[in-house]
């Protein structure tokens, strides 16, 4: 496991599932908008996994109250920040909490509501969008840098347990460099997870999104980048192999073949995949995981590709990223972070800004 010292000792013996969540994902929480003290205090008070969602919702409610008060007092910028932090808390309340579907979904809707309320208050502002897909719709968030008439755009693919409400800190590095961002919940992700199962042929989802982008007049549709995190680090290069309108792709700690890493995944991850794939049994989920593969496909990736992996990753072996770097058919930059965990969230400063600079160059923007 990716162990991290949280600085706070639990008051009593913790459920192994709680310990697993803390050890695997602590750096991710902090890197993606959760205050360290919030993480320490909330997780120290959770003994049973069944209490995880409720505890994080309580902390989310604190930030939501601050945001709504700031909004009522006319401090919109502060309100946006408070509400975005509330959304992150609510998101992490539900992120792999599939043991109580109704409680998970209620927390999720709080995350969506807070982030949606925050969007017009942010700098730069964002708007909620809906993207048609095979008779359904993907919910997304579009943000554009201020003062740029038709910026290039980075389409951001979520992972197994991430959603668009978690992406503020990831969006910001692209926005600051003059790129628009479009985060969206694809099949089995975020708002889509209740109706659409996870699918390995993510190029179908990407096609719907790129088709939607091409209809817009406020972004440069000739300069589209693709970004994916964790399982999205599989989805993005998989989509890039088929979707040739994509000019550059970033893949962060994605599996090469999800079936091959299945047995080594945390219990919470396997169970979440089963639920979001609409599989009835663990064995059915394992078989479905094998359909998420780049075997025979990686060589069709011809756009520039930036791959990041942490050598201490205990969820997806770094060798998966190395294999993708060898087999991809275009120009590849492979950044292996020796002391990085999964998505190198414990060393985000070693890749997050660097990958944004790389994407800006690929999409023709000047250095800043």
The model's pLDDT over 62-109, given as tens digits with 9 standing for 90+, comes to 999 999 999 999 999 999 999 999 999 999 999 999 999 999 999 999
Query: Token pair for residue 364?
Result: 């023709």
- CATH architecture of the domain formed by 1-122: Up-down Bundle (1.20)
Q: Which residue has the tokens 């969206």?
A: 184
Query: Across the chain, where does the E strand assignment appear?
Result: 126-133, 136-143, 153-157, 180-184, 224-229, 246-252, 305-310, 332-337
C-alpha 286/C-alpha 220 separation (Å) is 40
pTM of the predicted structure, to 2 decimals = 0.95
Residue from 303, 306, 269, 298 nearest 285 by CA: 269
Predicted pLDDT at 7: 43
234-to-72, 240, 341 alpha-carbon distances in Å: 42, 10, 17
For the chain, the domains span 1-122, 126-368
11: pLDDT confidence band, cut at 50, 70 and 90?
A: very low
Mean pLDDT value of segment 124-128: 98
What average pLDDT is seen over the chain?
Answer: 96
- Is 60 exceeded by the pLDDT of residue 4? no
Give CA angle at 300 (348, 215), nearest 5°: 75
Average pLDDT over residues 204-231: 98
Q: In the structure encoding, which two tokens stand for residue 65, read together?
A: 């109250």
End-to-end CA distance of the chain: 38
CA quadruple 19, 20, 23, 26: dihedral positive or negative?
negative
Q: Which of 62, 50, 67 is nearest to 90 (CA)?
A: 62
**pLDDT average, residue stretch 289-306:** 98
Give, in words, the CATH class of 126-368: alpha beta
- DSSP, residue by residue, 302-332: -S-EEEEEETT-SSS-HHHHHHHHHH-SS-E
What are the C-alpha distances in Å from 307 to residues 8, 125, 172, 182?
34, 29, 20, 20
Q: Among 304, 359, 301, 332, which Cα is nearest to 151's?
A: 359
What pLDDT was estimated at residue 13? 79
Query: What pLDDT was estimated at residue 231?
Result: 98
**Contacting residues for 68 by C-beta, under 8 A, at least 6 apart:** 79, 83
Question: Where do we find the tokens 């091959």?
Answer: 260
């Amino acid at each position: 496991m990716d162990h991290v010292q949280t600085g706070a000792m639990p008051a009593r013996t913790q459920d192994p599932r709680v310990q697993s969540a803390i050890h695997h994902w602590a750096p991710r929480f902090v890197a993606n908008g959760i205050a360290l003290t919030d993480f320490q205090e909330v997780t120290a008070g959770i003994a049973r996994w069944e209490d995880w969602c409720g505890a994080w919702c309580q902390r989310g409610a604190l930030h939501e109250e601050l945001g709504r008060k700031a909004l009522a007092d006319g401090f919109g910028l502060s309100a946006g920040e408070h509400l975005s932090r509330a959304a992150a808390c609510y998101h992490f309340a539900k992120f792999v909490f599939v043991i109580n579907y109704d409680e998970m979904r209620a927390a999720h809707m709080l995350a969506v509501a807070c982030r949606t309320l925050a969007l017009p208050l942010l700098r730069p502002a964002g708007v909620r969008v809906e993207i048609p897909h095979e008779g359904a719709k993907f919910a997304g968030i579009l943000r554009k840098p201020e003062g740029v008439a038709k910026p290039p755009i980075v389409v951001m693919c979520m992972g197994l347990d991430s959603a668009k409400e978690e992406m503020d800190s990831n969006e910001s590095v692209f926005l600051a460099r003059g790129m628009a961002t479009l985060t969206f919940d694809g099949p089995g992700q975020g708002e889509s997870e209740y109706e659409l199962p996870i699918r390995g042929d993510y190029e179908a989802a990407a096609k719907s999104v790129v088709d939607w982008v091409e209809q817009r007049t406020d972004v440069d549709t000739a300069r589209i980048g693709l970004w994916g995190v964790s399982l999205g680090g599989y989805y993005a290069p998989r989509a890039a192999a088929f979707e040739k309108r994509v000019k550059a792709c970033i893949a962060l700690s994605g599996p090469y073949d999800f079936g091959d890493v299945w047995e080594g995944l945390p219990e919470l991850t396997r169970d979440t995949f089963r639920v979001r794939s609409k599989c009835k049994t663990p064995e059915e989920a394992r078989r479905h995981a094998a359909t998420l593969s780049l075997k025979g496909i990686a060589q069709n990736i011809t756009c520039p590709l930036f791959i990041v992996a942490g050598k201490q990753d205990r969820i997806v072996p770094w060798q998966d990223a190395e294999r993708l770097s060898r087999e991809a058919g275009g120009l590849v930059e492979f950044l292996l972070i020796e002391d990085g965990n999964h998505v190198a969230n414990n060393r985000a400063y070693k890749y997050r800004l660097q990958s944004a600079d790389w994407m800006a160059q690929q999409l023709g923007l000047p250095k800043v």
